[in-house]
């Protein structure tokens, strides 16, 4: 059961004014701007099932200073949302102050709460740590939570261990930290696995392994190690204790390796916050572990199935902020990992193109899988990934846009793509719209015949709600409800690239039906345009859906674009439709890369169609993405 204890002081008393200023205006501490403890709005939320108490301050522009018991000592924390486990039942009063840029409150207040039960059996902690009750034969695997800020940190002794240093997401990717795995069993078993790299990460001040003595942290080769573990209670604190000389993903000091004893700050089914207190060095180290799902990590780029693995390629570039070409971006290769440095910002799609011209070949007899992992040091909402035929931009496996969040890995993948006869496959990555000093690492690129490595990609999980009759459907209101007055049409129907008479089109209650008497062979040889008056806003996400039927199987293109520029499009998707089998295309949360569009145009290309093909497209939905 969770209980929340609140404390709001000074509601009827005059408070000291907070003097707000921007960083540029801040000239130094202002005594009149020091916060008053009488204004504090603090809470302590108690989870009686785990004895975890979370302390929160709800004061804008202020931070808390919690004075917390730790064993037989008192420590402090400035973390808003700090969680602490209290191992002994009883009533507690936790003093705290509040601070801001001008100083810390002169007064102190307290938060009061009650812990119902002392921790005398650790069954709940076995459940959370190892996945079951004690001696139930279960186990759980943990790893460093590399996507969370503060997954590795240090601070003054007795604190939460983040005051001096807090690692940013994926900051230590080069140190072999993130492939380490820790397995805890309900029989108190512990296994440390150094992962594929076979190394442990060691502090520069330690002597474990071979310290190069260059003043930097280092890695040491190690083997998998098995040991045991147990819980200990000291004062009000709960500890996870490993035997002497037991490995852990980061060895902060020889003392940690000799006596690995970690204070449990917080534990849930998927997150474990640990602190190692090194009294001799007067420092505390902070670690965050996770047991959450890593999600799909792409196909096996190391397998011999991967065509990219043994391919040869060259680079070309188009780097043109404001459409004025400048020096090429740099690409630093490290095996199947490429770090692309973009020092100058760009504003529009296609202004920062990086090409990989390869010797990979594909054929129409097979289908293919593709994956690649991206990580950027800046947010980027519109990275374009395109796999295409060298010398022919209009023949491609896919053209997709993806969103990258700073320091968060993103695995892009496509599965079971229809094969094409291509003697040289090219990959272009476009970072147009990048921020200044952007670095993007693209790694584990993999193109292989479908299913060759035995890995099955998960189906896309789109939870977007599409309702044709909903008031939010911009297409229904702007096109279908207006009949033929809601749109205009034009065509490019050119078998062998020789234009012929337009295909027949019939519009009936929101369904566009086309009859194509002549066969075509290539993409864009059977384009049908539906031009609307529906505008699209800049920096706004849209969802699209439509239903496609045909009497002859084919792979068609659906593209929704700005009427003023076909380079400013919401999406361009190839979709394979089987004869007499309804196909529903769904495209969630897409954004125009180059700003607002005065009107949108839907392009349906049936290039590659068989003779006398009938295709219908209906139940079209265009809506702003729900927030």
In a domain? residue 460: no
312 and 234 assigned to the same domain:
no
141 and 286 assigned to the same domain:
yes
The 3-state DSSP class for residue 484 equals helix
From its phi and psi, is residue 505 left (phi > 0), alpha (psi between -120 and 50) or beta? Answer: beta
What pLDDT is stored for residue 230 in this prediction?
92
In a domain? residue 151: yes
Distance of CA 212 to CAs 198, 207, 577, Å? 18, 10, 60
CB neighbourhood size of 44 (10 A): 22
Per-residue pLDDT for 486 more than 90? yes
Per-residue pLDDT for 191 more than 60? yes
Q: CA-based angle 16:19:20, to the nearest 5?
A: 140
105 and 127 assigned to the same domain:
no
What pLDDT is stored for residue 173 in this prediction?
85
DSSP 17-37: PP----TTT--S--GGGSPPG
590 and 505 assigned to the same domain:
yes
Per-residue pLDDT for 30 more than 80? no
Tell me how far the alpha carbon of residue 540 is from its chain's centroid.
20
The CATH number for 542's domain is 2.60.120.260
**Stronger pLDDT, 522 or 475, i.e. the higher one:** 475
What pLDDT is stored for residue 478 in this prediction?
96
pLDDT tens for 536-577 read 999 899 999 999 999 998 889 999 999 999 889 999 888 888
What is the 3 state secondary structure string of 113-148? Answer: EEECCCCCCCHHHHHHHHCCCCCCCCEEEEEECCCC
Distance separating alpha carbons of residues 274 and 14, to the nearest angstrom: 41
Per-residue pLDDT for 125 more than 80? yes
Per-residue pLDDT for 627 more than 50? yes
Distance separating alpha carbons of residues 270 and 291, to the nearest angstrom: 5
pLDDT tens for 505-517 read 999 989 999 999 9
Domain boundary among 234, 260, 290: 290
Distance separating alpha carbons of residues 251 and 201, to the nearest angstrom: 6
Domain boundary among 115, 133, 167: 115
Per-residue pLDDT for 21 more than 50? no
In a domain? residue 364: yes
Least confidently predicted of 73-87, 141-155, 187-201, 367-381: 73-87
pLDDT tens for 134-156 read 889 999 999 999 878 899 999 99
In a domain? residue 67: yes
The 3-state DSSP class for residue 435 equals coil
What pLDDT is stored for residue 117 in this prediction?
82
399 and 538 assigned to the same domain:
no
What pLDDT is stored for residue 11 in this prediction?
29
CB of 371 closer than 8 Å to CB of 302: no
Residue 60 DSSP class: T
438 and 328 assigned to the same domain:
yes
492 and 408 assigned to the same domain:
no
CB of 549 closer than 8 Å to CB of 582: yes
Per-residue pLDDT for 616 more than 60? yes
pLDDT tens for 259-310 read 999 999 988 878 899 999 999 999 999 999 998 777 788 999 989 999 999 9
Distance separating alpha carbons of residues 221 and 196, to the nearest angstrom: 11
What pLDDT is stored for residue 523 in this prediction?
86
What pLDDT is stored for residue 461 in this prediction?
62
15 and 153 assigned to the same domain:
no
What pLDDT is stored for residue 292 in this prediction?
79
Per-residue pLDDT for 26 more than 60? no
252 and 392 assigned to the same domain:
no
User: Which two structure tokens, joined as six digits, stand for 197?
Assistant: 């790299």
What pLDDT is stored for residue 460 in this prediction?
64
**Stronger pLDDT, 236 or 549, i.e. the higher one:** 549
Domain boundary among 65, 91, 115: 115
What pLDDT is stored for residue 17 in this prediction?
30
What pLDDT is stored for residue 408 in this prediction?
76
Type and span of the H or E element at 257: helix 254-258
Least confidently predicted of 11-15, 497-501, 563-567: 11-15
What pLDDT is stored for residue 29 in this prediction?
61
Bridge pairing between strands 199-202 and 250-251: parallel
285 and 312 assigned to the same domain:
no
User: Which two structure tokens, joined as six digits, stand for 304?
Assistant: 């011999």
**Stronger pLDDT, 502 or 25, i.e. the higher one:** 502
Mean predicted lDDT score pLDDT of the chain? 89
pLDDT category of residue 74 using cuts at 50, 70 and 90: confident
The 3-state DSSP class for residue 76 equals strand
In a domain? residue 455: no
383 and 348 assigned to the same domain:
yes
494 and 552 assigned to the same domain:
yes
What pLDDT is stored for residue 263 in this prediction?
95
The 3-state DSSP class for residue 549 equals strand
Distance of CA 571 to CAs 1, 387, 577, 599, 605, Å? 47, 15, 18, 15, 14
User: Which two structure tokens, joined as six digits, stand for 397?
Assistant: 């496996």
Residues sharing a CB contact under 8 Å with residue 74, sequence separation 6 or more, in sequence order? 67, 68, 158
Distance separating alpha carbons of residues 505 and 484, to the nearest angstrom: 12
Q: What is the mean pLDDT of residues 97-102?
A: 90
What pLDDT is stored for residue 20 in this prediction?
29
The CATH number for 105's domain is 2.60.40
Distance separating alpha carbons of residues 147 and 145, to the nearest angstrom: 6
What pLDDT is stored for residue 405 in this prediction?
83
Per-residue pLDDT for 197 more than 60? yes
Instruction: Give residue 481's domain range.
Output: 474-624
pLDDT tens for 353-406 read 999 999 999 999 999 999 999 988 888 988 999 999 999 887 889 888 888 887
Structural domains of the chain, count: 4
pLDDT tens for 424-433 read 999 999 999 9
What pLDDT is stored for residue 118 in this prediction?
79
User: Which two structure tokens, joined as six digits, stand for 191?
Assistant: 């296994």
In a domain? residue 458: no
Distance separating alpha carbons of residues 144 and 224, to the nearest angstrom: 17
What pLDDT is stored for residue 134 in this prediction?
86
Q: What is the mean pLDDT of residues 328-347?
A: 94
- Global model pTM greater than 0.85: no
């Amino acid at each position: 059961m969770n209980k929340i204890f609140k404390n709001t002081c000074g509601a009827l008393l005059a408070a000291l004014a907070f003097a707000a200023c921007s960083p540029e205006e801040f000239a130094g501490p202002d005594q009149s701007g020091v916060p008053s403890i009488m204004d504090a709005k603090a809470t302590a939320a108690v989870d009686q099932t785990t004895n975890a108490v979370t302390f929160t301050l709800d004061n804008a522009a202020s931070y808390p200073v919690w004075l917390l018991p730790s064993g037989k000592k008192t420590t402090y924390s400035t973390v808003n949302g700090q969680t602490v486990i209290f191992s002994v039942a009883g009533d507690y009063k936790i003093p705290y102050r509040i601070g801001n840029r001008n100083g810390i409150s002169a007064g102190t207040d307290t938060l009061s709460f009650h812990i119902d039960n002392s921790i005398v059996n650790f069954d709940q902690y076995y459940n959370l740590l190892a996945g079951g009750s004690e001696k139930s034969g279960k186990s759980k695997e943990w790893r460093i939570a590399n996507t969370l800020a503060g997954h590795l940190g240090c601070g003054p002794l007795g604190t939460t261990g983040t005051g001096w240093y807090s690692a940013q997401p994926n900051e230590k990717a080069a140190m072999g930290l993130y492939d380490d795995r820790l397995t805890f069993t309900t029989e108190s078993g512990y296994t440390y696995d150094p992962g594929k790299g076979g190394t442990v990460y060691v502090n520069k001040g330690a002597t474990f392994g071979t310290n190069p003595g260059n003043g930097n942290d280092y890695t040491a080769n190690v083997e998998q190690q098995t040991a045991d573990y147990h819980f200990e209670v000291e004062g009000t604190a709960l500890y996870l204790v490993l035997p002497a000389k037991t490995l852990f993903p980061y060895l902060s000091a020889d003392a940690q390796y000799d006596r690995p004893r970690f204070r449990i700050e917080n534990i849930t089914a998927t997150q474990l916050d640990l602190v190692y207190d090194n009294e001799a060095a007067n420092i505390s180290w902070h670690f965050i572990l996770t047991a959450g799902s890593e999600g799909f990590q792409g196909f096996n780029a190391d397998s011999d199935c991967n065509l990219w693995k043994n391919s040869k390629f060259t680079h070309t570039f188009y780097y043109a902020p404001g459409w004025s070409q400048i020096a090429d971006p740099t690409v630093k290769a490290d095996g199947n990992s490429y770090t692309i440095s973009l020092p100058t910002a760009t504003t529009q799609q296609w202004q920062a193109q990086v090409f990989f011209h390869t010797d990979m070949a594909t054929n129409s007899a097979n289908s293919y899988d593709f994956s690649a992992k991206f990580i950027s040091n800046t947010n980027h909402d519109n990275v374009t990934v395109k796999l295409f035929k060298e010398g022919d931009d209009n023949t491609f496996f896919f053209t997709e846009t993806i969103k990258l969040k700073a320091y968060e890995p993103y695995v892009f993948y496509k599965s079971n793509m229809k094969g094409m006869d291509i003697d040289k496959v090219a990959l272009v990555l476009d970072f147009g719209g990048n921020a200044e000093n952007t670095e993007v690492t693209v790694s584990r690129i993999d193109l292989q015949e479908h299913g060759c490595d035995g890995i099955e990609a998960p189906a896309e999980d789109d939870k977007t709600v599409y309702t044709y009759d909903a008031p939010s459907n911009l297409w229904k209101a702007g096109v279908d409800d207006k009949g033929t007055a809601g749109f205009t049409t034009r065509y490019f129907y050119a078998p062998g690239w020789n234009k012929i008479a337009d295909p027949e089109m019939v519009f009936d209650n929101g369904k566009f039906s086309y009859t194509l008497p002549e066969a075509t062979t290539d993409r864009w040889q059977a384009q049908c345009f539906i031009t609307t008056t529906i505008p699209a806003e800049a920096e706004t996400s849209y969802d699209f859906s439509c239903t496609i039927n045909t009497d002859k199987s084919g792979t068609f293109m659906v593209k929704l674009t700005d009427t003023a520029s076909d380079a400013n499009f919401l999406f361009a998707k190839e979709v394979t439709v089987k004869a007499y089998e309804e196909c529903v295309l769904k495209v969630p949360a897409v954004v125009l890369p180059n700003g607002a569009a005065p009107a949108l145009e839907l392009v349906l290309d049936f290039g590659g169609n068989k003779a006398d093909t009938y295709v219908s497209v209906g139940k079209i939905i265009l809506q702003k993405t729900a927030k």
